[in-house]
Amino acid sequence: MHIRDICTSEAAHCTRDETVQGAARMMRRLHVGDVVVVDCLDGASVPVGILTDRDIVVSVIAPGLDPASLQVGDIMADDLLLAHVTDDVYGTIERMRQRGIRRVPVIDEQGNLAGIVSADDLLEFLAEEMGELSRISPYQQAHEKRARQ
């Protein structure tokens, strides 16, 4: 299965010159915990960073800085892990695990932002897979009963 099949296609995003307060308001309005930071190039939105609610708390609120006077580009994480829409789900999980990353922007074939996949999305997918696996035994038993009658 490909990441495109489980990612959230409407990723909240902004440019690096957005204020931290503006990004926080966007997170609140959209009920999300992160904003993908993009550079807009010739109509394309190319991911260059990510800002999480935790980044805002640790880097701005805790030291008492003014979120209205800081830009997203000042505090965003720019060592971005990206997934391509055609990446394998399990390979993406492994890369996230190795880097300790919970949210990964997803890009299309041209490198444009196509969505975002989170650890929660992946847990939901894996739970569904486990549920399907748990149904094997009852089907096997029913098949054996029919075959032996």
Look up tokens 């720019």; give the residue: 78
- pLDDT, tens only, 53-75: 999 999 999 999 999 999 999 99
Supply φ then ψ for residue 38, to 5 degrees: -125, 155
> Which of 121, 120, 102 is closest to 3 using CA atoms?
121
- How far is residue 75's CA from residue 52's CA, in Å, rounded to a whole number? 10
- How far is residue 49's CA from residue 127's CA, in Å, rounded to a whole number? 29
In whole angstroms, what separates CA 98 from the centre of its chain? 16
pLDDT value, residue 142: 63
Supply φ then ψ for residue 148, to 5 degrees: -100, 5
Domains within the chain, CATH numbers bracketed: 3-119 (3.10.580.10)
pLDDT value, residue 89: 95
The stretches in the chain having pLDDT less than 50 are: none
Amino acid sitting at position 80: L
- Provide the 3-class DSSP secondary structure of residue 54: helix
> Which of 12, 56, 20 is closest to 38 using CA atoms?
12
